[in-house]
Structure 1
Amino acid sequence: MPLLVPPAPAPALRSILAALSSPTAVQEARTPALRNAEGPLTAEHPLPVHVFEPAEVPGGLPRARLTGWRFHILAGGWPQQTVAAGETVATADGWVFSRFSEGPFLASTERALRQGETLPATYQPHLLSVPGLYMLALWLHCDPRADAATAQPTPADVLVPLAPAPPGIASHRLHRLSELMPLLSVRTAPPPLLGSPA
């Protein structure tokens, strides 16, 4: 079934479009594909970006904190090609442009989105960053009409680790959150406190 993508905040989209229309921002981006793109550039496929925060109690569910929105930057006529990602971050003054980027996560995100569209249920797609593992995953939230800003993980949600994934976690394998949580919890848990010296 199709994924139900939440609408991006208008200021987030405006900040990306302003950066795309700025020759300085595009030329200074460390994205050769964006600098060399021909034809009009558009920002499409917005995804809310959340940071994974481990559960506060053992066996509890993790939390997700919205930190930004990521747009795919498309170039050319038909068919358009994804050449970069444009990212915004939340500040005290609202959504502002952060950076352009490219690399393996772009193609991996597109592949994961296609995987999500083959599932029998409708999900709301998000990106979930797990900083302690240097991991990025497509998070398919089981409530497709949730508010993207306040959505929180549930056991029925699906995670698709993007490539490259950390050792021991297969990229592009669909996991129920409840299946992957024990591994993520162990790997992101703070180290135990050492006892005081004798």
Structure 2
Amino acid sequence: MPLHVPPAPPPALRSVLAALGSPTAVREARTPALRTAQGPLSPEHPLPVHVLDLAPDAVAPATRLAAWRFQIRSTERAVAAADAVLTADGWTFSHFFEGPYIPSTELALRQAEAMGGRYQPRLLSIPDLYMLALWLHGDPEADASCGAPAPADLLVPLAPAPPGFAAHRPHRAAELLPVITTRIMPGPGPRLGSPAPA
């Protein structure tokens, strides 16, 4: 198995389990699939969500841990996701949500399982492009709460991907990050609308 899924902080998991066990939290969630799901619901495949920070004067892109995301599985498939965020009081449930990134994440994880090599899966959020990618970190034993994409790490844009980026196509971070950086902060090189590298 090439994927080494890091364990989520126990308080993050407990907060999501408590929310799933709360009829009020589930009923008030804006997730029809979660409210109408039949059978038990369980949080699975926890992934750390890192946000890409591109400071104009930075030598290299940096990331910060924003949340732990759990796929909420019904009997046969993931029907929603839940985020737990770090607050002054520790890890706490943030919200439930659904949408195209749920099945896209599942598909990307299955594709990653079939690849050679060993990776630690993470999610990389690029808010300026409304983009989310599966980040396959090359050090499966690394601390999942920190770090930035290494040049040899793989980034897999999830669907829906921004124009010019092929969803579910893995790219080396060394190839894709410069394109992302140029899209966000245009300068010398490829301009906005240029395709991602093949």
Q: Is structure 2 residue 152 aligned with structure 1 residue 156?
A: yes
Structure 2 equivalent of residue 67 of structure 1: 66
- 1:115-130 alignment runs, 5 A limit: 115-130=111-126
Q: Distance in 2 between matches of 1:180 and 1:189?
A: 14
Q: The residue matched to 1:18 in structure 2 has which SS?
A: helix
Q: CA deviation at 1:61?
A: 2.7
Structure 2 equivalent of residue 29 of structure 1: 29
TM-score by length of 1: 0.90
Contact persistence 2:156–2:169 (CA under 8 A): yes
Match of 1:145 among 134, 141, 145: 141
One-letter amino acid of the structure 2 residue matched with residue 32 of structure 1: P
1:159-181 residue CA offsets vs partner (Å, 9 max, x unmatched): 00000011111111100000102
Contact persistence 2:5–2:47 (CA under 8 A): yes
Q: Distance in 2 between matches of 1:70 and 1:139?
A: 14
Q: Distance in 2 between matches of 1:173 and 1:81?
A: 23
Q: The residue matched to 1:169 in structure 2 has which SS?
A: coil
Aligned residues: 187
> Identity over the aligned pairs, expressed in percent?
63
One-letter amino acid of the structure 1 residue matched with residue 68 of structure 2: W
Distance 1:123 1:56, change over 3 A: farther
Structure 1 equivalent of residue 12 of structure 2: 12
One-letter amino acid of the structure 2 residue matched with residue 152 of structure 1: A
Structure 2 equivalent of residue 133 of structure 1: 129
Q: CA deviation at 1:188?
A: 1.8
Cα RMSD after superposing both structures: 1.5
1:50-88 residue CA offsets vs partner (Å, 9 max, x unmatched): 000126646x43111001000011113xxx321110111
Q: The residue matched to 1:72 in structure 2 has which SS?
A: strand
Instruction: Report runs of 4+ in structure 1 exceeding 4 Å deviation.
Output: 55-58
Structure 1 equivalent of residue 162 of structure 2: 166
Contact persistence 1:61–1:154 (CA under 8 A): no
Structure 2 equivalent of residue 86 of structure 1: 82
Q: Distance in 2 between matches of 1:143 and 1:109?
A: 20
Contact persistence 2:152–2:174 (CA under 8 A): yes
One-letter amino acid of the structure 2 residue matched with residue 64 of structure 1: T
Q: Which has the larger radius of gyration?
A: 1
1:108-153 residue CA offsets vs partner (Å, 9 max, x unmatched): 0011111111221100000010011000000000000000112321
